């Protein structure tokens, strides 16, 4: 399985994006948060890096006209749309619900249970993940 260069390039891109999240967070906020390595959301999008590396690797091995490349591109587009669209909207809803919960908890009516707000990605985060995936696959897949 480790001889499958497309798979390995995809995994490298996804892991590199997760590592970059910790580094970028440190550069911006001056705090090390290793939880970012295993959470969704943030800069760059690891989901996008992984699927773009997959599509790029398939393209480099099988060509633009292959059915496998078409499948990989459609899959990548769905993942990127979900990362920047649906999951981003859910994250915004979680943020608003947490504000409501803060107000309710201060009045002592409910027990506080916060929702995870960082679920999706901004278009910039998705783009950065795509660039990372493209670069990794271009260097790793012959």
pLDDT at 99: 76
37: DSSP letter: G
Write down the pLDDT at residue 40: 74
- Looking at the structure of the chain, the number of domains it has is 1
**C-alpha distances in angstroms, 104 versus 7, 10, 68, 110?**
47, 44, 52, 7
Q: What is the pLDDT of residues 18-42, one digit of tens each?
A: 999 999 989 999 999 888 778 777 7
Domain that holds residue 51: 5-140
């Amino acid at each position: 399985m480790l001889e499958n260069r497309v798979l390995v390039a995809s995994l490298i891109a996804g892991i590199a994006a997760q590592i970059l999240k910790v580094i970028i967070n440190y550069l911006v906020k001056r705090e090390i948060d290793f939880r970012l390595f295993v959470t969704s959301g943030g800069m760059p999008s690891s989901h996008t890096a992984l699927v773009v590396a997959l599509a790029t690797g398939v393209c480099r091995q099988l060509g633009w006209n292959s059915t496998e490349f078409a499948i990989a591109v459609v899959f990548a587009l769905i993942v990127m749309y979900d990362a920047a669209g649906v999951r981003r909207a859910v994250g915004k809803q979680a943020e608003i619900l947490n504000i409501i919960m803060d107000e309710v908890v201060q009045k002592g009516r409910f027990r506080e249970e916060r929702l995870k707000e960082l679920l999706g990605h901004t278009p910039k985060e998705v783009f950065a993940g795509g660039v990372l995936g493209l670069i990794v696959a271009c260097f790793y897949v012959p």
